[in-house]
Amino acid sequence: MELARRIAVVGVGETRYERRSSRDLAALRCEAACAALADAGLEAAAVDGLIVPGAGYGELHELARDLGIRGQFHAASCFHSGTAVVAAPLEAALAIESGLAHTVLCCQGVAWGSERRGNVGQPHAEMRMKAAFEIPFGWYPQVVHFAGMARRHMELYGTTEAQL
């Protein structure tokens, strides 16, 4: 409870709800982030932390560039399955508490209605970092991704295939 008394959410922003936006996810995230900054009465220059659930490393830095966040800043993308939007404010609070950042912007977005449809791996294939550093080396599809984690667990803790 002590952490909750020292850290606060001071601004909230969102885009207009629409079935199929003509804008891509990056533009929608940027609009929502700008609205949150305006609601908080902050300039982008005040932000020194950025947490965007589900975003790749490149997407984090593109959003920072588009918002006008300059200089060194703490950037993180939390991948906690369906709980990422709940985990993001906690990660922001921990970044502030640990001294990594003073003002953290959390930004989440989806554009399911306007994004191309495909198989379950398509969103991963479209992430620039995965396309550059995972897919060329066979770290794809998700079965392979999770197999690597399972194998690591087996090596570290002696877990057997039967236990999995």
Domain spanning 2-115 has what CATH number?
3.40.47.10
Edge-to-edge strand ranges of the sheet holding 49-51: 74-76, 49-51, 104-106
Every domain of the chain with CATH number 3.40.47.10 lies at 2-115
Q: What is the mean pLDDT of residues 52-57?
A: 80
Contact status, residue 55 vs residue 63, Cβ threshold 8 Å = yes
Give the pTM: 0.68
Least confident of 64-68, 108-112, 117-121: 117-121
pLDDT of 42 strictly over 90: yes
Provide the pLDDT for residue 46.
Answer: 93
Provide the pLDDT for residue 37.
Answer: 96
